[in-house]
Amino acid sequence: MKSAPFAQIAPGPGDLVMTACYDWAPPHTLIFADPGYRAHFPRLYQGGLFATAPDPGMIEGLRTAIQTMRDTSAPQIMDLPPQIDRNGVRRHIRWTFAPQTDGGAPVAFTHSITDRSREVAAQNALKAELTREDRWNKDGDLEALAATIEAAPIAISIARDPQGLPPILNAEARRLTGMDGFDGDTGRYKKLSAIHADGRPYIPEDYPTVRAMTFGEVIRNEEMIFLRDGERRRWIISSTPVRNVTGDIVAAVTAFLDVEAQRRAEEHRTLLIGEMNHRVKNTLAVVQTIAAQSFRAGEPAAYAQATFQARLHALAQAHDLLTEEAWQFAALSDLVQRTLTRCGTPMDRVHIDGPFVLLPPKAAVSFALTMHELATNAAKYGALSNEQGRIEVEWSVLPGDEPHLHLQWRELDGPAVTAPTRNGFGTRMISRALAAELKGTAAFEFAEGGLVFALDAPLPPQSDLFT
C-alpha cells in the first residue's frame, strides 16, 4: 500500500473536497484551484495534469479517464487504491473529472478530490456485521448494530425485506428523508418522490436499495434528485447486497450523502470562471481601444504614454468601485466623485448634485472614462485651466414606465471655447461608446461661457441590479 502522493492529507471533519479546473486541450494546464487544492497539492500539476504525477500507473489511469471524458462528454470517476496518510490512517480517495462547456463546446474540465474514508469504513463495518447470519436473531447484537449505525455521520439504511423485517434508518437518514421509518416491503418506495439526474422519475424498482436487494446489483455513487416539501436536493447513493454463508441475499446496505451544497459550489465556481473570462475579454477590448487612440501617429511618445496611463487609471477606478459591490452596480455619485478626485480636479471648484442612481457594470466603466476625458479636457483647455473657472455636474431622473437619466456637465467662467476641427478620442468615446452602452444620446455644446455636455439615456430598473 502506497503512502504517496496523498501522504500529506491529514484527517479533518467531514469529507475532504477540493476542486481545480484544467484546460481541455493537452497538456491540460491548470486554470484555477481552490485554496484546499493548492494547500494539499502545492507542487502537483502546476504545468499540466500529468507534469509531476509520481506514479506511472496513475498517469495511465488519468489518461484513460480523461480520454473517456473527452470522447463521451460525461463525468468520469477514479477510485484510487487505499492510501496511508501522514498519521497512519487508511484513506479512500476519489477523483472526479467533469467537462465544462462554453456554447456547447468543451473548454475545460474540473478535477474534484473527495475523501470517502468515513463512507467506506461505515459500509465495511456494517457489511461485516450483517454477513453473520446469527447476528440477526440475537436481540442484543441487533441493538448494538442499531446503536452503531445511529451514530454514523452519513445517512445509512439497512433493508431487511427478505427476512420480513422493516428497514433500519439512522438519524442522518431520518433527517434527510423526513421520515421516522418505513414499512417492511418495497411498497414503501411509493411514498418517496425522486427523479434521475436525466429527469426521469424513479419508480420503486429503480431505487438502488431495491436493485441491490432484488437483483444483487452493486450501485456506486448514483446521483438522485430527492424531492421533499417542494425542495430539490441532490444525493449520491451507494448500495450493496449482503449475503449469508450460502450466498442468499439477506439485506441491502445503502449509504447516501446530500451533495446539494457541493454541487451548488461547483456550479457557482464554474459560473465565476465563465464570468471572469467574459470580464477579461471585455477589459482587454477596452484597453486595446484606449491604447490605439493614445498612441496615435504624430503624438510624442512621452505624452502618449502619460495619456494612456491616465486612462488606464480611470478604468481601474471604475473596476475598484464595481469590485466593492461584487460587480453588480456602481453608484453614479461615487463614480463622479472618485474619478474627478483621481484626475487631480480641485473639488472646491466642482458642484455635484443628483439623486441616488445605480449603473450596471459596462455603463459604469464608460461613465468613468467619460468623466476622466471631460476633467482632463477642462484642466487643459476649459474651466479648470484658469483660476476662477468652475464645473457643475448635475443629473436628474425623469419618471415614467421607462425612467430616463438626464446628466449635464457645464463649465463656467472659463476661457472662450470653440468647436474643434476634428474629434479626438474623448469626443468619439463619449459620443459613441457611452451613448451606445446606455442606448441614449450624448451631445456637446461649445457655448461662449464654456463647454456643455448633456446625456439622455434610459435607466435599467434599479431593483434588477441587486439580483
pLDDT along the chain (467 residues), means of 10: 37 60 83 78 60 65 85 86 81 87 84 84 72 52 71 86 79 84 67 88 91 92 89 92 88 91 80 62 61 64 71 65 59 87 87 91 80 84 89 90 89 84 59 69 84 87 54
Calpha distance 414→411 (Å, rounded): 7
Domain spanning 299-466 has what CATH number?
Answer: 3.30.565.10
Alpha-carbon distances of 297 from 291, 300, 301, 302, 303, rounded to whole Å: 12, 9, 10, 13, 12
Cα angle: 82, vertex 84, 87; to 5 degrees: 150
Q: Locate the domains of the chain by residue range.
A: 17-115, 118-258, 299-466
Residues in a beta bridge with 387: none
- What pLDDT, on the 0 to 100 scale, is given for residue 7? 36
Q: Which of 311, 351, 359, 353 is nearest to 335 (CA)?
A: 359
Q: Which of 229, 201, 205, 233 is nearest to 219 (CA)?
A: 205
Class of the domain covering 17-115: alpha beta
Query: For residues 23 and 70, is the Cβ–Cβ distance under 8 A?
Result: no
Domain spanning 118-258 has what CATH number?
Answer: 3.30.450.20
DSSP letter (8 states) at residue 127: H
Calpha distance 267→21 (Å, rounded): 12
- What pLDDT, on the 0 to 100 scale, is given for residue 235? 92
- What pLDDT, on the 0 to 100 scale, is given for residue 277? 62
Map grid coordinates 481541455 to a residue: 24
Instruction: Strands of 24-166 (E only): list them.
Output: 30-33, 76-79, 83-84, 90-91, 93-102, 105-115, 155-159
Predicted TM-score of the model (pTM) = 0.41
Calpha distance 106→111 (Å, rounded): 14
Q: CATH topology of 17-115 equal to that of 118-258?
A: yes
Read off the C-alpha cell for 412.
463656467
